[in-house]
Chains A and B, each alone.
Chain A
Amino acid sequence: MTTAPARDVVEIENLSVTFATDAGDVDAVRDVSLTVGAGEVLAIVGESGSGKTVTARSILGLLPETALTRGAILLTSKDGSETHDVVTLSRRGLGEVRGRDAAMVFQEPSTALNPVFPVGWQIAEGLRAHGDYSKKEARAKAIDVMRRVGIPDPEERVDHYPHQFSGGQKQRIVIAQALALDPGVIIADEPTTALDVTVQAEILDLLRRCRDEFGTAIVLITHNMGVVADLADRVAVMYQGRIVEQADVRTLFSAPVDEYTRQLLGSVPRLGEGRARTADRAGARAPGWQEATPVVEARDLRIVYPGRLRRPDFVAVDGVSFAIRPGEVLGLVGESGSGKTTIGRAIAGLTKVTGGSLTVHGAEMNGMKERAFRPLRERIGFVFQDPASSFNPLLTIADAVAEPLVVHKRAKNPQEARGRVDELLEAVQLPKSFGDRFPHELSGGQRQRASLARALALDPELLIADEPTSALDVSVQKRVLELFDELQRELGFACLFISHDLAVVDLLADRIAVLYKGELVEEGTGEQVLGAPQHPYTQRLLASLPVPDPDEQALRRAEWDRLR
């Protein structure tokens, strides 16, 4: 796979793309040159705004009208017979090369499939655009590609609609659509970002087979260094619209040259990093700590969302027991639908407990009345996942951070609370002057810091952090996690840290609890859970997580294959 490719299927020369926006022109891509050899996997990595997606989309001429493209993008057909410059192609010419010479796999499979047509029809549409196929031929071809991407019973499922497939299956169908015409190159734009880790591993495996069995080159756009290490042959790192480094995958990970690349690789959380820290903390605990009354204790906790209109109830959390002691950080890990967020919300009194027992600060939450719980609220802080919506767009940051102080009568109004607000902003390493700004004037990372300041305003004994960094870029995530750790040590609050990312949880948590379909399958220290997982699901989850090291990842992949 690292053998020199016979020829290039994509050759980008001095590509620049400029977008017209409300704020003026934005240079999304500046003077990028790249080549993709036949049968090669080129990963373009970078954080938000690096221009990686724009570069990839421009290969198919899929940019909106507001984009202005300069340079050349030469696209060669798989058999090498034709080469076109996509930048200058007419609309008709673009229609001919799209799908035939290059195809695209999208980030969000649920929006890439048309909800009102059967999937087989949608696969056939791509075929029909490039030649005459009878209904029967097109259908046979669609069944064939569906089987090749691993959809069971393709003969029957070819007539199903997208909503009848799971997320991972949908992405398989999107890949089937791309493969239908056997293009020379597939452009995969964050193909696994919307998927759970265990599903991600399967889709990466499928993409690898595309390359091996169909000889298709892949341009892989991703922000995830683990995914890069898993799949790529060669890597181009983009930063602010430029390529800062291009190298063979092993070289890049073992000897990164560019400063930014090094910083990026250094920011990626790695499994096992947190072990020493956890041991330190455990050693420093006062004797008798084990016997202290837990801040939160769940016993056979059960949370059911009632079904409406004769539909069955949805059991989000089923028989979960755990405890969080004062000053302890419990990491809660699970995939979508595992119930992890529901547990966090139940502790904060946002979701009703329907069975079992959940005590928070000694108060029983099962059957709790809001009025009775309100006084306890000042002892709980909450950090939400989405930095974009966690602040009222009409209030300044200072007003928002002051809100808990005002509500719990520590201050009469936001002005009076300003002194404390400034302290808090400083504690989360934001300049005081940011208090006068509105939320949209802050970046995602800054907003999460402010969110942390608001959660800590009343000096709570318990903090619930629901995926606080999952919407952030890795370098930003790293700084927020460090801040979090510092504050936790300094203030000593107990914490429930919810995340889908094992490596992130491992960094911060004293103990890790793994949730699977509403049930708690494993609990223990990072060393126990990550070092010697007992439950098959934990094992699978762990093996699915790609690590940012190509050689180690190859070993893990073998382990994952074994577990499958």
Chain B
Amino acid sequence: MATSTTAVDAPADVPAPGRRPRGWRGLPVIRQLRQSVGLQRGMLVAGLVLTGIFLVTAIFAPLLAPFEYSQLRDPSGAFGAQQAPSSDHWLGTTVGGYDVLSRVIWGTRTALYVIVAAVLMSIVIGVLLGLVAGYFGGWLDRVLVVVADAIYAFPSLLLAIVVGIVLNGGESSLRGGIMAAALSITVIFVPQYLRVVRAETVRIKAEAYVESARVIGASHWRIMSRHVFRNATRTLPLILTLNASEAILTLAGLGFLGFGIEPTAAAEWGYDLQKSLSDVTSGIWWTSLFPGLAIVLVVLGLTLVGESLNDLADPRLRTRRRGPVTPADVGETSVVPGSPSADTAYLDGKGPA
């Protein structure tokens, strides 16, 4: 059923109430935050807080971390390997003799670099291909879709490994390592963006306003840039957050398998976890727990933001404020779990009017 946007189109033919807020209140995320209620708001806020902490830590890592990521000794001597948490090393030291806390903090930087690089590259390529495939259709579209589907269905980690081998042959400077990881992740993400943008483009192409531009005689370039592009990319912030979390997981997975970045080049949580594998058997918990927790918290934060945005964008999944507080003598309509919250449809006498 087509849910009308002009929900309360009264007989007097007045426009839908509630203008889209302009200015800073209309910015993505902030708009959704204002829209959300109850548990959904709680989840969104929790996600934003975690993501915020992650970003702040990454930016101020040099100030926050007690040591360098590759520091093995200070003026008083070597740190020593596998030291339990103490006042000198709050979270202990690793088997390689690094300070765990410092590695965890510096790790946020590496993660951020990779996210930014991977997401930027995949968005540019994916959006471009998606627009072209969706708009022009034809054999190019079919080929792109089949290839994208094949890659999409393939285990992303295996693909990332293959790309990683090609790019650096296991070599791992900071920039090389980050670019290798980012490119591996890009290869996984491009098909996703392509699918999403293509689907949106195909939908928008059938919208009356695009047809209208065609009737007017607007060129393909004009239609694509002016009508399709901005409308087709409106859902991207949402995928972006979800992909950012996937990027971290893939980076960690690569590191864990030994395709990450060398400890002397940068701090990377997956690498640290790999090195802690043998520690666990002897009961040394701090080398694995903290980098692991760092991954979990960052991914959790990003995912909470992404899923909340997703829910808010989908009228079926979104919760809204209830009516005013019920006076004592008033009955309520039955609370039907899972009934549609697209309540505006009911206000609309004719459905798709």
Chain A residues with a Cβ under 8 A of chain B: 18-26, 28, 46-54, 57-58, 61, 63-70, 85, 87-91, 94, 107-108, 111, 190, 193-194, 221, 223, 239-240, 260, 348-350, 374-375, 377-378, 380-382, 384-395, 400, 403-404, 407-408, 438, 440-446, 451, 454, 471-473, 475-476
- Chain B residues with CB under 8 A of A438: 20
In the complex, what residue of chain A is closest to B15 when comparing beta carbons?
A: A443
B340 within 8 A of A: yes
A49 touching B212, Cβ below 8 Å: no
- Chain B residues with CB under 8 A of A395: 226
- Chain B residues with CB under 8 A of A390: 208-209, 212
- Chain A residues with CB under 8 A of B348: 48-49, 53
Chain B residues with a Cβ under 8 A of chain A: 1, 4-11, 13-20, 35, 207-209, 211-219, 222, 226-227, 230-231, 320-324, 326, 330-336, 339-344, 346-353
The contact of B10 among A25, A48, A66, A89, by CB within 8 Å, is A48
- Chain A residues with CB under 8 A of B347: 19, 21, 26, 28, 49, 51, 53-54
Instruction: Say yes or no: A407-B218 contact (C-beta < 8 A), given A22-B320, A443-B6.
Output: yes
B217 touching A48, Cβ below 8 Å: no
Instruction: Say yes or no: A47-B11 contact (C-beta < 8 A), given A66-B322, A350-B214, A388-B5.
Output: yes
Question: What are 5 residue pairs bridging A and B, where the CB atoms are less than 8 Å apart in the complex?
Answer: A48-B9, A49-B348, A63-B333, A69-B332, A407-B213
B322 touching A20, Cβ below 8 Å: yes
With contacts A108-B351, A407-B216 known, what are 4 further pairs, Cβ within 8 A?
Answer: A49-B8, A54-B347, A68-B332, A472-B353
A69 touching B331, Cβ below 8 Å: yes
A19 touching B5, Cβ below 8 Å: no
**CB proximity of B221 to chain A, nearest CB, Å:** 11
Please, how many angstroms separate the alpha-carbon atoms of A145 and B15 in the complex? Answer: 44
**CB proximity of B233 to chain A, nearest CB, Å:** 11
- Chain A residues with CB under 8 A of B217: 374-375, 377-378, 404, 407-408
**CB proximity of A337 to chain B, nearest CB, Å:** 18
Most buried by A among B226, B333, B344, B348: B333
The contact of B349 among A50, A378, A391, A445, by CB within 8 Å, is A50
- Chain B residues with CB under 8 A of A69: 330-333
**CB proximity of B209 to chain A, nearest CB, Å:** 5
- Chain B residues with CB under 8 A of A53: 346-349
The contact of B15 among A50, A54, A389, A442, by CB within 8 Å, is A442
- Chain A residues with CB under 8 A of B335: 65, 91
A350 touching B346, Cβ below 8 Å: no
- Chain A residues with CB under 8 A of B18: 21-24
- Chain B residues with CB under 8 A of A70: 330-331
**CB proximity of A11 to chain B, nearest CB, Å:** 15
A66 touching B8, Cβ below 8 Å: no
A471 touching B209, Cβ below 8 Å: no
- Chain A residues with CB under 8 A of B321: 20, 66
**CB proximity of A462 to chain B, nearest CB, Å:** 11
Please, how many angstroms separate the alpha-carbon atoms of A350 and B211 in the complex? Answer: 8
In the complex, what residue of chain A is closest to B17 when comparing beta carbons?
A: A23
The contact of A89 among B231, B334, B346, B353, by CB within 8 Å, is B334
A21 touching B320, Cβ below 8 Å: yes
- Chain B residues with CB under 8 A of A223: 349-350
User: Which 9 interchain pairs have the tightest Cβ spacing?
Assistant: A68-B323, A23-B18, A377-B217, A47-B11, A390-B208, A384-B208, A88-B331, A87-B331, A382-B215
A67 touching B4, Cβ below 8 Å: no
Most buried by A among B6, B321, B339: B6
Please, how many angstroms separate the alpha-carbon atoms of A516 and B40 in the complex? Answer: 51
Please, how many angstroms separate the alpha-carbon atoms of A378 and B334 in the complex? Answer: 56
- Chain B residues with CB under 8 A of A403: 213, 216, 218
The contact of B11 among A49, A87, A193, by CB within 8 Å, is A49
Instruction: Say yes or no: A394-B231 contact (C-beta < 8 A), given A66-B320, A380-B215, A403-B216.
Output: yes
B349 touching A64, Cβ below 8 Å: no
B216 touching A404, Cβ below 8 Å: yes
B351 touching A193, Cβ below 8 Å: yes
In the complex, what residue of chain A is closest to B228 when comparing beta carbons?
A: A392
Please, how many angstroms separate the alpha-carbon atoms of A440 and B19 in the complex? Answer: 8
- Chain A residues with CB under 8 A of B226: 392, 395
Please, how many angstroms separate the alpha-carbon atoms of A52 and B348 in the complex? Answer: 9
Please, how many angstroms separate the alpha-carbon atoms of A57 and B303 in the complex? Answer: 38
Instruction: Say yes or no: A64-B343 contact (C-beta < 8 A), given A19-B323, A20-B322.
Output: yes
Please, how many angstroms separate the alpha-carbon atoms of A514 and B119 in the complex? Answer: 55
Please, how many angstroms separate the alpha-carbon atoms of A159 and B325 in the complex? Answer: 48
Most buried by B among A46, A53, A91: A53
A108 touching B350, Cβ below 8 Å: no
Please, how many angstroms separate the alpha-carbon atoms of A378 and B219 in the complex? Answer: 13
B323 touching A385, Cβ below 8 Å: no
The contact of A46 among B7, B11, B20, B213, by CB within 8 Å, is B11
A108 touching B1, Cβ below 8 Å: yes
A440 touching B15, Cβ below 8 Å: yes
Please, how many angstroms separate the alpha-carbon atoms of A69 and B332 in the complex? Answer: 6
Please, how many angstroms separate the alpha-carbon atoms of A86 and B211 in the complex? Answer: 48
In the complex, what residue of chain B is closest to A404 when comparing beta carbons?
A: B216
**CB proximity of A481 to chain B, nearest CB, Å:** 14
- Chain A residues with CB under 8 A of B11: 46-50, 239-240, 260, 473, 475-476
Please, how many angstroms separate the alpha-carbon atoms of A21 and B320 in the complex? Answer: 7
- Chain B residues with CB under 8 A of A47: 10-11, 349-350
B216 touching A63, Cβ below 8 Å: no
The contact of A394 among B17, B230, B326, by CB within 8 Å, is B230
Instruction: Say yes or no: A382-B346 contact (C-beta < 8 A), given A446-B13, A471-B353.
Output: no
**CB proximity of B168 to chain A, nearest CB, Å:** 42
In the complex, what residue of chain A is closest to B214 when comparing beta carbons?
A: A350
A54 touching B346, Cβ below 8 Å: yes
A440 touching B5, Cβ below 8 Å: yes
Please, how many angstroms separate the alpha-carbon atoms of A289 and B199 in the complex? Answer: 49
The contact of A240 among B10, B218, B334, by CB within 8 Å, is B10
**CB proximity of B157 to chain A, nearest CB, Å:** 35
Instruction: Say yes or no: A386-B13 contact (C-beta < 8 A), given A88-B331, A350-B214, A377-B216.
Output: no
Please, how many angstroms separate the alpha-carbon atoms of A408 and B1 in the complex? Answer: 38
The contact of B350 among A48, A65, A67, by CB within 8 Å, is A48
Please, how many angstroms separate the alpha-carbon atoms of A442 and B8 in the complex? Answer: 12
B343 touching A21, Cβ below 8 Å: yes
Instruction: Say yes or no: A384-B20 contact (C-beta < 8 A), given A48-B349, A440-B15.
Output: no
